[in-house]
């Protein structure tokens, strides 16, 4: 027999959640308020609204083997238990953190026994299934495939990276989303009023602004929201108060929950949001996402590298100074470190957001690489080779330009953008492509520069 949390054994049935013990205050509010029906679930309408496929499957008695994927406190375990309860199935629960291969074999054996007794396939619930190694995951494969158990696993990590492909191919992945503030406020109101399971015995009240403040500080996590409410309620009641105020809430839980993991999905989602906000020229959104990265403890070198890449890829030749700004910000942020680096990165993010945009350099090099990969392998023209005869040295000519061939077969890869400084660059380029003498162009900066030819022994004609 394998012991699990709460003094229950692996083979005990699903707790009903309806009988609240006399010492209910020893049980966390979030556990006491765990939904008992699908109607009590908050959020996840894409899965649990009456027309959603999962809802319809469950009420019809069918439970698929599945992975419930999402951040903490959004109802993964509750949904698994409700699906078993509604379809009247035995519920075998195990935690992947502490279970070993022997416990898994016992789980499989008990599932087979229960099915033979009731003819209904039991639910085998594996919390945080991504902690199982490959051998442990493979131990569940035959039973899932033969229908001896309905496997439900929960994970906060991306299942497409953490779960074996062979096992994943036999499961449906349901992605749960963080709860919105309106969902959390509704849960808080219910908990504050519920006498049986909640805080109703304390006869406390809280304004909508206070409940919203709790919800916003919870980061979409129902467990965190209820925990914050419970702390503030007990502090208020102990002090003889009748109303939970924002000041008490913030003293009980002074910082908002930061939902960010440097090594997992949030890392990619938020940096993607930052890049796309800058590309969309929205400095306010870009600074917000930068703030999320900084508050979450992201490596500032990673952020700085992304800014340098963005400067070349998305701002490009529309503002050639952008890459200098990004590179300087990367150096300066690394030099001073946090917390001051946040100001440097903010300046760069705002500059890049407002700058005109062009991806012509990005498209040009990709077009050239694509041509090369398709077999366009031209020989270097003889006059361009070291020591090759016939090379015309541009600096020997007025305007520092002379018409000559630089490819055996001409190709077009660069198509100028229409914003910022690029149109002027494109204009000067077109004059040279058309064979006109740029020295006749009064706007050509080379006329004002008064450039001189390099001595031939310093990289001149053979340079």
Q: Could you read off the pLDDT of 285-318 as tens digits, one per residue?
A: 999 999 988 888 888 899 999 999 999 999 999 9
d(CA 139, CA 136): 5
Question: Could you give the number of structural domains in the chain?
Answer: 4
Q: Note the pLDDT of residue 265.
A: 59
* 3-class SS string, the chain: CCECHHHCECCCCCCCCCCCCCCHHHCCHHHHCCCCCHHHCCCCHHHHCCCCHHHHHHHCCCCCCEEEECCCCCCHHHHHHHHHHHCCCCEEEEECCCCCHHHHHHHHHHHHHHHHHHCCCCEEEEECHHHCCHHHHHHHHHHHHHCCCEEEEEECCCHHHHCCHHHHCCCEEEECCCCCHHHHHHHHHHHHHCCCCCCHHHCCEECHHHHHHHHHHCCCCHHHHHHHHHHHHHHHHHCCCCEECHHHHHHHCCCCCCCCCCCCHHHHHHHHHHHHHHHCCCHHHHHHHHHHHHHCCCCHHHHHHHHHHHHHHHHHHHCCCHHHHHHHHHHHHHHHCCCCHHHHHHHHHHHHHHCCCCCHHHHHHHHHHHHHHCCCCCCCCHHHCCCCCCCCCHHHCHHHCCCCCCCCCCCCCCCCCCCCCHHHHHHHHHHHHCCCCHHHCCCCHHHHHCCCCCCHHHCCCCC
| 1, pLDDT greater than 80 | no
| 442, pLDDT greater than 80 | no
Same structural domain, 72 and 166 = yes
CB atoms within 10 A of CB 251: 12
Q: Note the pLDDT of residue 11.
A: 36
Q: Could you read off the pLDDT of 449-461 as tens digits, one per residue?
A: 333 333 443 444 4
Report the interhelical angle of 300-310 vs 341-354 (nearest 10°): 20
The two tokens of residue 227 are 């925990």
Same structural domain, 38 and 89 = yes
Q: Note the pLDDT of residue 172.
A: 92
Q: Note the pLDDT of residue 117.
A: 86
Lowest mean pLDDT among 174-178, 328-332, 388-392: 388-392
Same structural domain, 192 and 284 = no
Same structural domain, 94 and 113 = yes
| 397, pLDDT greater than 70 | yes
Q: For residue 367, tell me if it sits in a domain.
A: no
Same structural domain, 346 and 310 = yes
Q: For residue 22, tell me if it sits in a domain.
A: yes
Same structural domain, 19 and 137 = yes
Report, as an integer, the average pLDDT of 374-397.
85
| 19, pLDDT greater than 70 | no
Q: Which CATH number characterizes residue 199's domain? A: 1.10.8.60
Q: Note the pLDDT of residue 451.
A: 35
Q: Could you read off the pLDDT of 59-86 as tens digits, one per residue?
A: 888 889 999 998 889 999 999 999 999 9
Report, as an integer, the average pLDDT of 235-241.
87
pTM: 0.60
Asked if 94 contacts 5 with a C-beta cutoff of 8 angstroms, the reply is no
* Range of the structural domain that residue 400 is part of: 373-458
- Alpha carbons within 13 angstroms on the beta-carbon side of residue 34 total 19
Q: Which CATH number characterizes residue 133's domain? A: 3.40.50.300
Q: Note the pLDDT of residue 284.
A: 94
Q: What percent of the chain has pLDDT over 90?
A: 37
For residue 339, cis peptide bond before it (omega within 30 degrees of 0)? yes
Q: What angle do CA 328, 334, 337 make, to 5 degrees?
A: 125
Report, as an integer, the average pLDDT of 365-393.
87
CB atoms within 10 A of CB 457: 8
Same structural domain, 213 and 153 = no
Same structural domain, 146 and 205 = no
Confidence category of residue 53, pLDDT binned at 50, 70, 90: confident
Q: Could you read off the pLDDT of 168-197 as tens digits, one per residue?
A: 888 999 999 889 899 999 999 999 999 999
Q: For residue 275, tell me if it sits in a domain.
A: yes
Same structural domain, 300 and 216 = no
Same structural domain, 448 and 387 = yes
| 360, pLDDT greater than 60 | yes
Specify which residues 67 forms β-bridges with: 153, 173
Same structural domain, 452 and 332 = no
Q: Note the pLDDT of residue 402.
A: 82
Q: For residue 365, tell me if it sits in a domain.
A: no
The two tokens of residue 385 are 């080779």
Same structural domain, 42 and 141 = yes
Report, as an integer, the average pLDDT of 404-411.
84
The two tokens of residue 337 are 């470190």
d(CA 72, CA 153): 14
Q: Note the pLDDT of residue 379.
A: 86
Q: Note the pLDDT of residue 432.
A: 59
Higher pLDDT pick, 376 / 426:
376
Among 112, 146, 175, the domain-final residue is 175
| 4, pLDDT greater than 70 | no
Lowest mean pLDDT among 88-92, 217-221, 264-268: 264-268
Q: Note the pLDDT of residue 287.
A: 95
| 344, pLDDT greater than 90 | yes
In the predicted model, what is the mean pLDDT of the chain? Answer: 82
Q: For residue 281, tell me if it sits in a domain.
A: yes
């Amino acid at each position: 027999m394998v012991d699990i949390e709460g003094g229950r054994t692996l083979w005990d049935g699903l707790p009903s959640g309806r009988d609240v013990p006399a010492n209910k205050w020893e049980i966390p509010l979030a556990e006491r308020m765990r939904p008992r029906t699908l109607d009590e679930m908050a959020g996840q309408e894409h899965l649990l609204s009456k027309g959603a496929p999962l809802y319809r499957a469950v009420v019809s008695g069918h439970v698929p083997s599945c992975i419930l994927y999402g951040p903490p406190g959004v109802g993964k375990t509750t949904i698994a238990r409700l699906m078993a309860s509604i379809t009247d199935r035995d519920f075998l629960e195990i935690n992947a953190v502490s279970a070993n291969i022997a416990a898994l074999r016992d789980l499989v054996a008990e599932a087979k026994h229960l099915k033979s007794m009731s003819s209904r396939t039991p639910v085998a619930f594996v919390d945080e299934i991504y902690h199982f190694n490959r051998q442990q995951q493979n131990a569940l494969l035959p039973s899932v495939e033969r229908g001896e158990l309905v496997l439900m696993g929960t994970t906060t990590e991306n299942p497409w990276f953490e779960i074996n492909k062979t096992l994943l191919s036999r499961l449906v992945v349901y992605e749960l989303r963080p709860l919105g503030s309106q969902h959390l406020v509704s849960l808080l109101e219910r908990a504050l009023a519920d006498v049986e399971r909640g805080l109703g015995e304390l006869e406390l009240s809280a304004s909508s602004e206070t409940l919203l403040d709790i919800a916003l500080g919870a980061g979409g996590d129902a467990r965190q929201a209820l925990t914050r409410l419970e702390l503030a309620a007990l502090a208020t009641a102990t002090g003889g108060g009748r109303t939970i105020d924002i000041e008490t809430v913030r003293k009980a839980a002074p910082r908002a929950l930061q939902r960010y993991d440097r090594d997992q999905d949030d890392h990619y989602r938020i940096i993607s949001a930052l890049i796309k906000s800058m590309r969309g020229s929205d400095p306010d959104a870009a600074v917000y996402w930068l703030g999320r990265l900084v508050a979450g403890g992201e490596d500032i070198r990673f952020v700085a590298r992304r800014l340098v890449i963005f400067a070349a890829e998305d701002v490009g030749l529309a503002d050639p100074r952008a890459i200098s700004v990004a590179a300087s910000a990367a150096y300066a942020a690394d030099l001073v470190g946090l917390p001051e680096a946040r100001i440097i990165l903010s300046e760069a993010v705002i500059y890049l957001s407002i700058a005109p945009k062009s991806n012509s350099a990005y498209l040009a090099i990709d077009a050239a690489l694509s041509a090369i990969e398709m077999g366009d392998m031209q020989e270097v023209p003889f006059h361009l080779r070291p020591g090759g005869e016939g090379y015309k040295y541009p600096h020997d000519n007025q305007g520092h330009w002379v018409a000559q061939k630089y490819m055996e077969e001409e190709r077009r890869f660069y198509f100028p953008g229409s914003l910022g400084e690029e149109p002027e660059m494109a204009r000067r380029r077109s004059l040279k492509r058309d064979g006109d003498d740029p020295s006749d162009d009064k706007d050509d900066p080379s006329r004002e520069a008064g450039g001189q030819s390099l001595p031939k022994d310093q990289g001149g004609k053979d340079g």
